[in-house]
């Protein structure tokens, strides 16, 4: 359009200028005519150059330490950037959940239909001159205002340093954004063992083959200030063969509990978040520290993916109290019913981009997943119950930034902490949930 207008202006202005002299000159003025034509050509090219400079550049999509051209990954909201190295990109997500849980009536558990705004986040991220970056997100769900990520980062080649409120390095499932998980809630052990964002400083080194992460952390801002501190580390090897992506990882976690009056508690809901019932729970345990060890494995090959994790949480209790070790893990298989593929980047699952999205003549991406999810909170003198989860999910992504999901889970319990009226602690609970999601 700019090119068309520039040539039209050039012809209108200079064509009229030339026409008058031509009528008054004979063949002896042909040299002057040639000179005028050359001037018109030069001026037209200059107008084209100026028009090109006015053309809006493709937006930038942020991907952690680096950025990519929007022609490769188009974001719904473009980043605002300046030539001096500053940039600003609005961020946000909205997740609305609804469904029901059904427990044996004799447990007198609070079940039935429920709904909630699971997450409602707003924030921004961008670059700061000198290789620095920032990210901040605030969650307004649950009629509360909570700080999610609030970080200052510095990247230099394959290394990145982060200071602020962010995830420590536990579990592939935990580090994968809630936007890109295959179930509306993460594996049971991640919530039961208290994986959450904490205030701290960390370093990440990554290349095409491995990711190495380590950091020093205190506590979640909701529990601070206190004297707790800890260390976390994670190593991932991620070889790729043709279109098959492999993932092998391990992590270690240590949390020192300084306050002698502090206790810890491990517990978990039956799949969905909109119920407050927990059928497994250790209750409050006196503790001096906790140490966790995790193993991760995953594969993406074409439409298929598989993932599995195992995590052991050891509790060091004061005096003569026993030191239990609790365990959780899962195994998952998934397949796209459309010609799509699960995203993966930097040692975690990433956004799925439908090949044929709605609005461009397609139907979007459809994915079906099965998972076995296990949590064991019984060891030594602690009887917190065991949860065996048999889960299924169907996910429809009409576009890159919209998602609808249906989840079902059958949770089988042993040593449940909510007995029936007859004293039975072994029974099953059904959970069903749906989600509508959008992000930018």
Separation CA 74–CA 28 (nearest Å):
59
Q: Read off the pLDDT band of 11 (50, 70, 90).
A: very low
Q: Output the pLDDT for position 36.
A: 58
- Return the beta strands (E) in 28-86 as ranges: 60-63, 66-69, 80-81
Domain ranges (residues) in the chain: 2-54, 80-439
Q: What's the predicted TM-score (pTM) here?
A: 0.82
Tokens of 10: 């050039």
- Residue 429: alpha-carbon gap to chain centroid: 29
Whose structure tokens read 């095409």? 208
Q: Output the pLDDT for position 46.
A: 62
413 three-class SS: strand
Closest CA to 98 of 273, 223, 252, 295: 273
In CATH, what class is 80-439? mainly beta
Q: Output the pLDDT for position 23.
A: 43
Q: Output the pLDDT for position 33.
A: 59
Under 8 Å between Cβ of 149 and 165:
yes
Separation CA 264–CA 285 (nearest Å):
5
Q: What is the pLDDT of residues 380-405, one digit of tens each?
A: 999 999 999 999 999 999 999 999 99
Residues listed for the chain: 440
Q: Is the pLDDT of residue 263 over 50?
A: yes
Residue 428, preceding bond cis, omega within 30 degrees? no
Mean pLDDT of 136-148: 92
State the DSSP H helix or E strand holding residue 21, giving kind and residue range, or none if neither: helix 2-24
Q: What is the pLDDT of residues 158-217, one digit of tens each?
A: 999 999 999 999 999 999 999 999 999 999 999 999 999 999 999 999 999 999 999 999
pLDDT-above-70 percentage for the chain? 81
């Amino acid at each position: 359009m700019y090119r068309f207008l520039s040539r039209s202006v050039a012809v209108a202005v200079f064509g009229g200028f030339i026409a008058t002299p031509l009528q008054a000159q004979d063949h002896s003025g042909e040299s002057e005519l040639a000179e005028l034509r050359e001037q018109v050509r030069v001026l037209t090219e200059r107008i084209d150059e100026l028009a090109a400079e006015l053309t809006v550049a493709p937006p930038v999509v942020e991907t952690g330490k680096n950025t990519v051209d929007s022609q490769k990954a188009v974001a719904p909201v473009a980043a605002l950037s300046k030539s001096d190295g500053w940039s600003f990109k609005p961020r946000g997500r909205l997740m609305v959940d609804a469904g029901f849980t059904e427990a044996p009536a004799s447990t007198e558990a609070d079940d039935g239909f429920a709904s909630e705004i699971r997450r409602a986040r707003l924030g921004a991220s961008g670059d700061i001159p000198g290789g620095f970056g920032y990210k901040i997100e605030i969650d307004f769900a649950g009629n509360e205002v909570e700080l999610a990520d609030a970080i200052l980062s510095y990247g230099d080649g394959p290394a990145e340093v982060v200071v602020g409120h962010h995830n420590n390095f536990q579990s592939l499932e935990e580090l994968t954004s809630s936007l890109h998980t295959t179930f509306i809630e993460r594996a049971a052990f991640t919530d039961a063992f208290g994986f959450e964002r904490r205030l701290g400083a960390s370093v990440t080194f990554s290349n095409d083959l491995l990711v190495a992460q380590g950091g020093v952390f205190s506590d979640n801002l909701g529990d601070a200030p206190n004297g707790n501190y800890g260390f976390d580390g994670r190593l991932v090897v991620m070889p790729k063969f043709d279109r098959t992506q492999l993932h092998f990882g391990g992590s270690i976690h240590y949390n020192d509990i300084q306050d002698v009056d502090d206790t810890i508690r491990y517990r978990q809901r039956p799949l969905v978040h909109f119920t407050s019932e927990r059928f497994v729970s250790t209750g409050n345990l006196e503790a001096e520290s906790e140490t966790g060890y995790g193993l991760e494995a995953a594969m993406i090959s074409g439409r298929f993916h598989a993932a599995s994790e195992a995590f052991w949480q050891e509790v060091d209790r004061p005096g003569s109290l026993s030191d239990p070790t609790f365990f959780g893990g899962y195994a998952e298989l998934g397949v796209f019913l459309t010609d799509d593929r699960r995203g993966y980047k930097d040692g975690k699952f990433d956004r799925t981009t439908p090949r044929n999205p709605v609005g461009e003549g397609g139907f979007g991406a459809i994915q079906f997943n099965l998972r076995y999810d296990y949590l064991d909170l019984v060891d030594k003198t602690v009887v917190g119950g065991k949860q065996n989860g048999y889960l299924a999910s169907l996910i429809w992504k009409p576009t890159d930034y919209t998602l609808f999901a249906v989840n079902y889970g059958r949770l089988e319990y042993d040593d449940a902490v909510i007995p029936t009226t007859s004293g039975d602690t072994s029974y099953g609970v059904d959970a069903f949930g749906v989600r509508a999601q959008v992000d930018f």
